[in-house]
Structure 1
Amino acid sequence: MLLDFCSVNATTHAVFGVAALAGAGAALGVEPSPYAYPAAVAAAWLPDIDNPRSRLGNGLSRLKSPVLNAATRPLSWALRTISFVLARTVGHRTLTHSLLGGALFALLVSPLRELLPGLWLALVAGYASHIFADALNTRGVPLLWPVGRPFRLLPGGVRSGGAAELAIAAGTAVVAGYLLSVAHPEIPGLL
């Protein structure tokens, strides 16, 4: 059951990451490159690295291909180490789910802004989408961590893994699909 819960949550964050990048691209009048969308998904999973059971927190070593497992092992170990340290020092849904965490992440990836602006936009939009999505749920997010109470966008919030989360994710996917079809008119023709 826990695996199903994590999969739904990871999928919801992936959808929000793609939607955030597509929306940011539309708002800024830029057309994100196709490579930017997987980066937005990875960045949308990144705030949960403080949870060792999350998509990135448990590393990448459980891939189906032994060759990919060997190639990603160093990154997998690094992700697990970071997850362990964050979980033990600040805990889940603290620093990485706050404005401070978002600002630190944006600062960390800021060299990409001039080099690869599309990738930078994807990473920042994806990370921000995670905080936004978690602000919709019952626990909210500690925007002003380490002080203040959790912030929720909806009174009471939406239960993670429930039908309401699925409905919100589906609605977000529709909006993302529309924005993608506007930004990349060739996509509907490919389907």
Structure 2
Amino acid sequence: MLQKTHTLAGVVAAECVIIHFNQPLISWEAGTALLIGCIVGPLADIDKKGSTMARILLPLSWVLQLLRVKHRTLTHSLLFLVLLGYLLAPLPEFFYWTILAAYASHPLIDLLNDQGVALLWPINKKFRLLPKPIGIDTGSFQEIVFRIILAVVAIILPFISLGSF
């Protein structure tokens, strides 16, 4: 999936956390959470040379390249998500869950890709939610449709739970 798709997924994940914590949508906390979703949603692609995240966080991307970390392995794995959870433990609960949910949205939607994700890395088995022939190829028409659906969800979700905001 492309960065803009992961960004929208991160925003939807952040909105879900905002709703769960009954945080007013018009607040510094909610605004920060939405910004976190925008930034953290595509972050797992730091392992892909040339991606926006790899260019922004070049030193970390170089380290991953030196360690020969392949795309959709370590940074897309459940192990990494657990390690991230431990590192984020000192944060306030609202921001802890916002970052974790936004980050988890990345491998979750990559499971729809025809290439799959090594969720159990270092075991190299790739998992996917759709059969390979109907998986969503990066940059394809199907991804554009999926991104539009995510955008609609991101717009409608706050209105659906308006009583919570």
Q: Same fold (TM over 0.5)?
A: yes
Q: Name the counterpart of 2:147.
A: 169
Aligned-partner Cα distance in 1 for 2:120–2:76: 9
- Structure 1 residue 48: deviation in Å? 0.9
Map 1:106-185 → 2, pairs under 5 A: 106-112=85-91, 116-156=92-132, 157-183=135-161
Match of 2:16 among 15, 23, 26: 23
SS at match of 1:96: helix
Q: For 1:36, what is the secondary structure of its paired residue?
A: helix
1:98 maps onto 2:82 in alignment: no
Closer/same/farther in 2, CA of residues 136 and 149 from structure 1, 3 Å limit: same
TM, length-normalised to structure 1 = 0.75
Contact 2:73 2:124 in 1 (8 A): no
Please identify the structure whose Cα radius of gyration is greater: 1
Q: Say which SS state the counterpart of residue 84 (structure 1) adopts.
A: helix
SS at match of 2:127: coil
Among 27, 31, 36, which residue is 1:39 paired with? Answer: 36
Residue pair 1:22, 1:180 contacting (<8 A) in 2 also:
yes
Listed one character per residue, the Cα deviations across residues 14-65 of structure 1 (whole Å, up to 9, x for unaligned) are 1100111222443x35326121111112111211111231112112xxxxxx
What is the letter of the counterpart of residue 45 of structure 1? P
Query: Equivalent residue of 2:128, what SS?
Result: coil
What's the counterpart of residue 62 of structure 1? Answer: none
Unaligned 5+ segments in structure 1 are 1-7, 60-78
1:21 alignment partner AA? A
Deviates more, 1:100-109 or 1:173-182: 173-182
- Supply the distance in 2 between the matched residues of 1:172 and 1:43 (Cα, whole angstroms): 16
Tell me how far apart the structure 2 counterparts of residues 184 and 54 of structure 1 sit (CA, whole Å).
36
Is the Cα–Cα contact under 8 Å of residues 52 and 80 in structure 1 kept in the other structure? no
| Aligned counterparts of 2:17 and 2:126: Cα–Cα separation in 1 | 26
- Tell me if the contact between 1:93 and 1:142 (Cα under 8 Å) persists in the aligned partners: yes
Is 1:80 aligned with 2:80? no
SS of 1:34's partner is helix
Change beyond 3 A, Cα 1:179–1:88:
same
Compute the TM-score of the two structures, normalised by the length of structure 2. Answer: 0.85
Q: 2:47, 2:70 within 8 Å by CA — same for their partners in 1?
A: yes
